[in-house]
Amino acid sequence: MSTLRLEELLKKASMNLIESCLNLKAGETFLVITDTETRTVGEAIFEESLKVGSESVLVVIKPRRRHGEEPPKPVAEMWQHADVFVAPTKYSLTHTQARRKATEAGARGATMPGITTEIFVKGLAIDYKVVKENNEKLLRFLEGAENIRIMSELGTDLTLSVKGRKFIPDSGILHERGAFGNLPAGEVFIAPVEETAEGTVVFDGSIAGVGLLKNPVKVVVRGGYAVEFVGREEAVKFENLLKSVGLKEAFNVAEFGIGTNPAAELVGNILMDEKVYGTVHIAFGDNSTIGGRVKAGIHLDGIIKSPTVYVDGKPLIVKGKWLI
């Protein structure tokens, strides 16, 4: 792709994000948090935001060491005073206390962990009305759900409780005060009740921090925590990433999510991968930012292809095909 063509696509994707996804208005304070490895995307968004008359601020930080690590304190403080924000960074700021406090203070916006220029120009060309419709369809089916069972032909068989917890849609349309999601968007997710997950998960798509999987990764779960990792080098790497924070909480079953974006593809980048229609994902680590009680300083998702999902005994997805 020529440099000129890439610049044009970056401008188009940036303006779609600014106008369609964030509905940024003139005079609003707009904070762009990026890092030295993703600044091409961050700077493109910043430059386009100036055209709508916003009070835009661009902050470039050193890349974090892992998903879920907090940003520098001055950035965390600044974040709470923004009207709108976007965070295209190498590692995720989604499950940080800084992000949580910012949205609680009323800021609306999106994080973009692991973003690349290729994913940005493709992912932000999506018609998010379709994603929103898929999310709303799921939410109607999932209303009042208490128990989830996830299975797959490779051996996944995991049960978990979501009683009293709220499913959260990520549709990419973030117009209301305090609205938050990922971009590219396309999932419905929830924090399972702690210590209720039991069984086996077999990841065969990708894992955050590991990439596309050549070999399946089997994780045995007992009492809500991962207790055994089985597989080749991918399983070892995944386990070591969770061990790196030195906390038992890193092994907590933190999230169950369903991909709802028909334009997303498995590429080895969890930002896009977890949105793929016909897949589900399970995450380990921190869930305090999505309705749970566990703080871990890390949050890693893994993708299951062609899953079967039962909700309170009723089939929702069978071998990757939605029944609703």
The owner of tokens 């009723």 is 314
In angstroms, the CA 309 to CA 315 distance is 6
Which pLDDT does position 126 carry in this prediction?
82
Mean of pLDDT over the chain: 96
The per-residue pLDDT for 3 is: 79
Write down the pLDDT at residue 35.
Answer: 98
Q: How far apart are CA 169 and CA 246, in angstroms?
A: 31
Residue 193 DSSP class: P
Please report the pLDDT score of residue 2 as a whole number.
73
127 falls in which pLDDT band (50, 70, 90)?
confident
Which residue in the block uniquely carries the two structure tokens 């386009």? Answer: 48
pLDDT at residue 316 in the model? 98
Q: Name the pLDDT band for 1 (thresholds 50, 70, 90).
A: low
Q: What is the DSSP letter of 197?
A: -
* Tokens read off for 231: 């597989």
pLDDT band at 125 (very low <50, low <70, confident <90, very high): confident
Q: How far apart are CA 152 and CA 91, in angstroms?
A: 29
Q: Is 76 left (phi over 0), alpha (psi -120 to 50) or beta?
A: alpha
> What single-letter DSSP state applies at residue 224?
T
CB 254 within 8 A of CB 272: no
The pLDDT value recorded for residue 321 is 98
H/E stretch holding 16 reads helix 3-16
> What integer pLDDT is reported at residue 294 of this predicted model?
97
Helices (H), the chain: 3-16, 39-49, 73-79, 97-104, 117-123, 128-142, 233-243, 270-273
Burial of 262 (0-12, 13-18, 19+ CB in 10 A): middle
pLDDT for 311: 98
Percent of the chain at pLDDT > 90 equals: 94
Least confident window among 6-10, 46-50, 185-189: 6-10
Please check the confidence at residue 23 and state whether its pLDDT lies above 70: yes
Mean pLDDT value of segment 175-192: 96
Lowest mean pLDDT among 6-10, 122-126, 215-219: 122-126
Query: Do the Cβ atoms of 285 and 252 come closer than 8 Å?
Result: yes
pLDDT at 133 over 80: yes
140: three-class secondary structure by DSSP = helix
Q: What is the pLDDT of residues 68-102, one digit of tens each?
A: 999 999 999 999 999 999 999 999 999 999 999 99
Give the model confidence (pLDDT) of 265-308 as tens digits.
999 999 899 999 999 999 999 999 999 999 999 999 999 999 99
What pLDDT is recorded for position 122?
Answer: 87
Write down the domain spans for the chain. 3-123, 128-322
Q: What six digits make up the tokens of 145? A: 């759900």
Pick one of 3.40.1830.10, 3.40.50.1820, 1.10.420.10, 3.40.50.720 as the CATH number of 3-123. 3.40.1830.10
d(CA 82, CA 121): 25
pTM for the structure as a whole? 0.85
pLDDT digits (tens, 9 = 90+) for 151-162: 999 999 999 999
